[in-house]
Structure 1
């Protein structure tokens, strides 16, 4: 819009200057023609009875008449005889300064004759460009008696001043139009951008299985069309989710039963080890037994509640516990899970946690199952004759949090990296191969992702990416 205003300003300005200059040129030519005609008529009348008598030009009366006409018309008048010799002038300064010759050239006389005794040409006088008018003076019989010359000065300064005034006025008008245009464009842009940002925000929040809300938009513009399309897609997505959910429930209940059984078994071994460690602490009379007992009680209770809930709600194979997503403090959840395994003497588990609190929206039991599964896999991947090291790090990256679980176990061959998340695929001699498939499914339903990095003989790293609950939603 701004560019169009500027282009139109340049085009209109250029056309106006060209038109004004052309009109200015016509004005000066017409003015000279009028003045010349008036002077010639007056002198022809004065010389009406002369018959090739050059003596009439040298009289005081003729000189006074020339001077009178020059003063009336505010122009300089020069008289030449038919041979081109100067006879008289209202201002002999032109001849004295050499601006106008005392004798007209044969070329000028020839042009005058070719143009039927009247012509106008350009004539430089000093730094200025004059119009140089030549015409025959005639008697009443139409016979040429002499040549009149009128040098006419065209004032360019006036034209420049008028043009400057016009351009300033035009610039002010276009400046006002440009300002109005910018304000209008800004308001329109804000109006459109507001709707687009609102639509963009909803699209970003759009998720499979999430609580997707339709938008409301008043008006019948392009944004309204986009909103209608978005609302239609939301409805279609909801229908697809319902169909997909129904299909999954009907077609995958046996597989899910196996997965749940697998998840129930995962915590049992570390639970047994922790009980044994607590018993040993009691027998050894450890001073920190009370603290150990409290930690044991807290973590054991959480694990048992998780197992109990899964076992209870999955008594029927066709039913998998509905996800109860809630605001969870990831720091606390992960710390509790890690402390559950920390009593195992065969490996060291290091947890690196940021100082700030990180909240996620997830089902507590399911996210606990995810961490249980990954840590259990890490423990099982470390040979018994090797000092095990499991490193768990948490790092927030903008609106996402990265949880990385590293071990120094046997590693996974590259050829099997893409298959480890498939149901019923396992690298272990024993097991159903359902654990990582369930982990991936849970993480995916939370809007996150999981990837594996591994090298045979050096270890494996699982990297989880989860969306962080926005700060303004963290209501403690």
Structure 2
């Protein structure tokens, strides 16, 4: 709207200036034609009068010796008379500009006049803002014989028209300035009305999430286009909720299937040696064997070991599915981490606390679990680096957080495994169920903390745990 008003004002001002220019030029031409006609009429009357001088070229200066000044004064223009060869015969005193007498017509002008079908030439020139118009025609005697060339020149001062144009443009600009201000106001209120609804929709879209209930948009007054957009959004919310329910159900079913497969796989591992042991004992059982008690004891020990393995599998899956309740208490993290490392006897494990004491409200058991799990993984990853193994455990404070860093110079994590490192049942080791890192990740996130890592294959891995102090 503002652009249209601005373009319209520029266009109208430009057209007005052009129109004024054309009207001024047309007015000057008509004015000059009227003066030219009247002047030529007076000259013809003067030539028809009976005088003592015959009407010839040589006598033109004598016939109009005094009369030429009266004609020039009455019509406010300059009158000059030339012979047929362009020689100046007589000239009046010009008005509004100075003109040197004794100037003859050029041969080109005389030739152009002779070759012109209308026997008339019009010339225009501008000097210091004043427009000079000149016309060249023939002077005829009473028998219509050409006896000379008549030059009429008028000075057109257009200052009055220019002043009028400036006043008109000023008034026009004031009107358009008022219209421009009104257009800005209307555009502002109109855009505010439109964008208010769009802003509401935008905020609702930003708040849209897949894992929670989303509110529909309700607008009391809006355009049909906005209402159509709101209706589409509300329909999308309905479809999104249906899709979220289906997706959640599908994910739960998939998770249970995967968990069932993993549990079945882990349970089958100890069942196989138990079956073999029972079958072997059944084939070799001899009640009269003098070593029957030793064999029974060995057989029982084998079964008990496998049963313990199955019990540990069940405990691990139970702990992963249901985390123990957190008991928050004020702990010295520096001291707790130190005691957590006492169970490790490896000399290449180095504890580097950055502070002498660092207190935070955490669960002691879970904190120990986090540290021991990360250090245990680091010792397993470093076994292949027997030349210069090194594990560093650092504890530092960052703002309102506690930061625990466990780094090693082991084999590192392969790029294709980095995205799976916190996935349940994922492991690159020959033993274990792959629940260690997912379990401590759940513990850390329960504190609104975070765990991340950087790893370079062949160089080592650095795990960083951030926990809030309160």
TM-score, normalised to structure 1, is 0.62
Aligned match of 1:241: 244
Q: What do residues 133-169 of structure 1 show as CA deviations (whole Å, max 9, x unaligned)? A: 1223334543334433221112243454344444434
Matching of residue 34 in structure 1 with residue 34 in structure 2: yes
CA 1:372–1:120: 2 relative to 1, 3 Å: farther
The secondary structure found in structure 2 opposite 1:200 is helix
Shift of 1:95: 11
Shift of 1:18: 3.3
CA 1:110–1:442: 2 relative to 1, 3 Å: farther
Matching of residue 144 in structure 1 with residue 143 in structure 2: no
CA 1:54–1:404: 2 relative to 1, 3 Å: same
Aligned match of 1:424: 425
Matching of residue 389 in structure 1 with residue 393 in structure 2: yes
CA contact (8 A) 2:120 2:137 kept: yes
Shift of 1:104: 2.7
The secondary structure found in structure 1 opposite 2:419 is coil
CA 1:28–1:168: 2 relative to 1, 3 Å: same
In structure 1, distance between residues paired with 2:371 and 2:427: 16
Aligned match of 2:280: none
RMSD: 5.2
Shift of 1:459: 5.0
Aligned match of 1:79: 81
Segment drifting more, 333-342 vs 206-215: 333-342
Matching of residue 213 in structure 1 with residue 209 in structure 2: no
CA contact (8 A) 1:411 1:454 kept: no
In structure 2, distance between residues paired with 1:58 and 1:462: 116
CA 1:457–1:66: 2 relative to 1, 3 Å: closer
In structure 2, distance between residues paired with 1:17 and 1:154: 18
CA contact (8 A) 1:382 1:388 kept: no
Aligned match of 2:311: none
Segment drifting more, 84-93 vs 16-25: 84-93
CA 1:372–1:203: 2 relative to 1, 3 Å: farther
The secondary structure found in structure 1 opposite 2:138 is strand
CA contact (8 A) 2:449 2:465 kept: no
Matching of residue 52 in structure 1 with residue 55 in structure 2: yes
Q: What do residues 104-159 of structure 1 show as CA deviations (whole Å, max 9, x unaligned)? A: 33332332333343321135778855111122333454333443322111224345
How many aligned residue pairs are there? 386
Aligned match of 1:252: 255
CA 1:108–1:13: 2 relative to 1, 3 Å: same
CA 1:208–1:425: 2 relative to 1, 3 Å: same
CA contact (8 A) 1:259 1:435 kept: no
CA contact (8 A) 1:84 1:103 kept: yes
CA contact (8 A) 2:413 2:461 kept: no
Matching of residue 180 in structure 1 with residue 179 in structure 2: no
Matching of residue 122 in structure 1 with residue 124 in structure 2: yes
The secondary structure found in structure 2 opposite 1:209 is coil
Shift of 1:395: 5.9
Shift of 1:410: 7.0
Considering only CA atoms, is the larger Rg found in Structure 1 or Structure 2? 2
The secondary structure found in structure 1 opposite 2:122 is strand
Q: Greater relative contact order (Cα 8 A, min sep 6): structure 1 or 2?
A: 1
Q: What do residues 287-329 of structure 1 show as CA deviations (whole Å, max 9, x unaligned)? A: xxxxxxxxxxxxxxxxxxxxxxxx9xx99x9xx789xxxxx9x
CA contact (8 A) 1:84 1:147 kept: yes
Segment drifting more, 75-84 vs 454-463: 454-463
Aligned match of 1:344: 339
CA 1:94–1:351: 2 relative to 1, 3 Å: closer
Shift of 1:196: 4.1
In structure 2, distance between residues paired with 1:65 and 1:249: 120
The secondary structure found in structure 2 opposite 1:77 is strand
Shift of 1:35: 0.7
The secondary structure found in structure 1 opposite 2:453 is strand
Structure 2 unaligned blocks of 5 or more: 264-314, 343-350, 381-388
In structure 2, distance between residues paired with 1:63 and 1:350: 124
CA contact (8 A) 1:342 1:349 kept: no
Shift of 1:198: 3.5
CA contact (8 A) 1:76 1:150 kept: yes
TM-score, normalised to structure 2, is 0.62
Shift of 1:32: 0.6
CA 1:119–1:333: 2 relative to 1, 3 Å: farther
CA contact (8 A) 1:95 1:102 kept: no
Shift of 1:67: 3.2
In structure 1, distance between residues paired with 2:448 and 2:74: 97
Q: What do residues 418-451 of structure 1 show as CA deviations (whole Å, max 9, x unaligned)? A: 3322221235676432354466689999999864
Matching of residue 407 in structure 1 with residue 406 in structure 2: yes
Segment drifting more, 405-414 vs 241-250: 405-414
In structure 2, distance between residues paired with 1:164 and 1:258: 92
Shift of 1:80: 3.4
Shift of 1:65: 4.2
The secondary structure found in structure 1 opposite 2:150 is strand
CA contact (8 A) 2:121 2:136 kept: yes
Paired residues for 1:291-306 under 5 Å? none
